[in-house]
Amino acid sequence: MSHTATAPANAEKRYTVHRSDLPLSCPTPEMALWNSHPRVYLPIEDEPNCEAACPYCGSVFVLAD
């Protein structure tokens, strides 16, 4: 399977994600990895407020549904 990243890595600081995007990782599969940090998986569905912050870049992910 060939997948080309189209979004720059960590271009924003707040991202809205959906359950269909799980498991959640930062950077996401849509982001280019060459200029980012190592991929880390974020257990957003286990968070009481449905938000998770990346420990590397500080991006905040919010689960919308």
For Cα atoms 38, 33, 2, give the angle at the middle one, nearest 5 degrees.
Answer: 125
pLDDT of 10 reads 61
Q: Cα separations (Å) of 30 from 3, 48, 51?
A: 8, 26, 19
How do residues 16-28 score in pLDDT, each as one tens digit?
999 999 999 999 8
The span from the first CA to the last CA of the chain, in angstroms, equals: 28
The pTM of the full predicted model, rounded to 2 decimals, is: 0.77
| The predicted structure's pLDDT at residue 61 | 96
36, 42 in Cβ contact below 8 A?
no
Q: pLDDT tens, 9-61? A: 566 789 999 999 999 999 988 887 767 889 999 999 999 899 999 999 999 99
- If one counts every other C-beta atom within 10 angstroms of the C-beta of residue 27, the result is 24
pLDDT class of 4 with cuts at 50, 70, 90: low
